[in-house]
Amino acid sequence: MVPGPRLDVVARPVILTVDDDPAVSRAVARDLRREYGEHHRIVRAESGPAALDALREIALRGEQVAVILADQRMPRMSGVEFLEQAMDLFPRARRVLLTAYADTEAAITAINVVDLDHYLLKPWDPPEEKLYPVVDSLLTAWRESSDRPAATIRIVGNRWSSRSYELRDLAARNQVSYDFFRAEEPEGARLLEAAGADPDLLPIVITEDGRTLVQPTDAQVAEAAGLATTASEEVYDLVVVGGGPGGLGASVYGGSEGLRTVLVESRATGGQAGTSSRIENYLGFPDGVSGDQLTMRARLQAEKFGTEVLTTRTVTALEPKGRARVVRFDDGSEITAHAVVLATGVAYRMLDCPGLEDHTGQGVFYGAAATEAASCAAQDVYVVGGANSAGQAAMNFSRHAAKVVMLVRGPSLQASMSHYLIEQIEANPRIEVRTCTEVCAAAGTDHLEKLTLRDRNTGAEETVEASWLFVFIGAAPRTDWLDGVVARDARGFVLTGPDLPREENGRAPAGWEPDRDPFHLETSVPGVFAVGDVRADSVKRVASAVGEGAMAVSLVHRWLENR
């Protein structure tokens, strides 16, 4: 960590306005730009869907939205419907509904549904009397709100640096506002010079208070952004290891039921589900919900109930110690709990072929890599995999790319993908599905430039120009650190309850001390439970993982009452 001079280049907060009447839309943007354009970026849209797309792009760039003004009477999506979805992306943004005199009932609905800050009757002329005082008060409230997000950071690095990508991904997935500057461009070079940083020691991170972090670790960036990385206590009722849907479910229910709960996540809450661009079959979201929106809601809900959330902390050991369960971290520190829920999920398997490893983070990505979607504009994107995660990514990239080519090893998508997603892909003219096809080589200089594809039926090979490859080829559990502690199957998944190996008498597993059979989600170590994808033979769905997380907490209570 290297101290540097304070730098004052921070992205301007956004004021967004949406109205389907082009004349009104231009007038609102004109009045806002005249009064606030010096210190805020004014963005306008002429429909709810277009405005949501704009908000997603703003989120990917790590910018903040201060105020949203939406017309109520718009076709396809009303102002209230738009604001309800917008608040998932930017929950802190102040919300204004533009209404006519006849829309009083809609305004009342908006107050209840989207926690509306103000409704403004049209016309608002003169703006000095009717518009600006309202926006002034909302901007003041936004700046002074006690629930401000983690501080804005600036990342300076090379475009095709894998470490620069990792830091952008870390910030985006943790809802940390950030700006990325390429070191080779004028603004990036100016920041490097102002910070007194060596351009050979990239990436660097510049914090909101002007400190310069040279080639920082994830933990240093998390701490600089205001995320919690250190436990506040030494002993908890419940430690949840892993922040995917199962871990978040356990954290919400643990906190809500009065357990002193801490959630420990090595990178970002949400797991693989958190990177999904759209989950359309999750109960209660008929229009679908993005993984990051669902994750953000769940994390806020857990924190509301008092759960402590630690980020960028890697657990390396679990040790039963009498009635206690000790969880150790990679820095040697530890915390103690009465019960533990393992929710570490799975990691995408690496694609094993020449050239790919050299370009990981340099055009080759495992998972959706949402921070890269906008950079794929008007280019060809290749997606490897035939399950739901690959299909959701293909649909998302098709919004930006010239063409998305799905490479599927099997003869069709039917065996591994949900029917609704197959129908969407078939109807999308920008997506091409190539079955019985695999990647066998990759090449490039400082980033991916070419892929060699092989037809699995004929063996014929073809080389294509490609700068973007996203891989979704199944997953493996991350449980090596549990070796010798809890029982696992041959693939490393954690065995629980009735799946645990039994003694000859058919009762408890070897070494089992309690005078009872293991609970349904309990591992071979009493008081240690496993939920979600990490559990052997679990249903690999978001809803089932959340349900298991909730069920695990009820079993934790039974364990605590009878131990």
Q: What is the pTM of this model?
A: 0.75
Question: Residue 167: which CATH number?
Answer: 3.40.30.10
How many Cβ atoms from other residues are within 10 Å of residue 537's Cβ?
9
Q: What's the token pair of residue 262?
A: 């801490």
Place of tokens 């990436």: 203
Chain segment 241-267, per-residue pLDDT in tens: 999 999 999 999 999 999 999 999 999
Q: What are phi and psi of 461, to 5 degrees?
A: -115, 150
Q: For all residues of the chain together, what is the average pLDDT?
A: 89
Q: What is the mean pLDDT of residues 156-165?
A: 92
Given 147, 169, 185, which residue is the final one in a domain?
Answer: 147
Q: Are residues 98 and 247 in the same domain?
A: no
Exposed e or buried b per residue across 215-240, where buried means at least 16 C-beta atoms within 10 angstroms of its C-beta = bbebbbbbbbbebbbebeeeebbbbb
Domain boundary among 473, 497, 524: 473
The answer to whether residue 199 is domain-embedded is yes
Round to whole Å and give the CA distance between 96 and 116: 6
Residue 1, in any domain of the structure: no
At residue 7, the pLDDT reads 42
Q: Does residue 537 form part of some domain?
A: yes
CB under 8 Å to 519, separation ≥6 — which residues? 497, 529, 555, 558, 559
- For residues 335 and 101, the model is more confident at 335
Q: pLDDT tier at 52 (50, 70, 90 boundaries)?
A: very high
Q: Tell me whether residue 38 is in a domain.
A: yes
Q: How far is CA 297 from CA 79, 300, 321, in A?
A: 21, 5, 35
Nearest Cα neighbor of 32 from 131, 167, 149, 137 is: 131
Task: Please write the tens of the pLDDT for every residue from 367-415.
Answer: 887 778 778 889 999 999 999 999 999 998 998 899 999 999 999 999 8
Please give the average per-residue pLDDT across 118-130, as a whole number: 80
Give the structural domain span for 277: 235-347+479-562
In a domain? residue 380: yes
Total domains present in the chain: 4
| Residue 75 confidence (pLDDT) | 86
The pLDDT-based confidence of 294 (bands split at 50, 70, 90) is: confident
DSSP codes, 15-33: EEEE-SSHHHHHHHHHHHH
Same domain, 197 and 165: yes
Q: Is 422 found in the same domain as 342?
A: no
Closest by Cα among 347, 331, 152 to 267: 347
Residues 335 and 443 in one domain: no
| Residues 27 and 86 occupy one common structural domain | yes
Q: Which of the two residues, 100 and 349, has the higher pLDDT score?
A: 349
Q: 122 and 65, same structural domain?
A: yes
Q: Does residue 352 form part of some domain?
A: no
**Domain co-membership, 363 together with 452:** yes
Handedness of CA 36, 37, 41, 42 (dihedral sign): positive
298 and 186, same domain (yes or no): no
CA distance 36 to 38: 6
Residue 6 lies in a domain: no
Query: Which of 473, 504, 537 is where one domain is finished?
Result: 473
Tokens representing 53? Answer: 């797309």
Same domain, 498 and 457: no
Residues 6 or more apart in contact with residue 51 via CB below 8 angstroms: 16, 18, 45, 70, 82, 86
CA angle 384, 388, 389 (to 5 degrees): 60
Q: Read off the pLDDT of each residue in 444-465 and give the average, rounded to a whole number.
A: 96
CA–CA dist 474, 348 (Å, integer): 6
For residue 535, give both structure tokens: 């559990």
Q: Where are the alpha helices (DSSP H) in 335-482?
A: 388-397, 419-426
**301 within domain boundaries:** yes
Q: Mind listing the pLDDT tens digit for each residue in 84-118?
A: 888 888 888 998 888 775 555 665 665 655 567 78
Q: Residues 535, 483: one domain?
A: yes
Assign residue 539 the CATH number of its domain.
Answer: 3.50.50.60
Same domain, 303 and 329: yes
- Of 251, 267, 276, the closest CA to residue 421 belongs to 276
Q: Is the pLDDT of residue 20 over 60?
A: yes
Q: For residues 239 and 247, what is the distance between their CA atoms, to the nearest angstrom?
A: 10
Same domain (yes/no): 136, 21: yes
Share of the chain above pLDDT 70, in %: 93
- What gap in Å lies between CA 155 and CA 182, rounded to an integer? 8
Tens of pLDDT, residues 489-502: 999 999 999 999 88
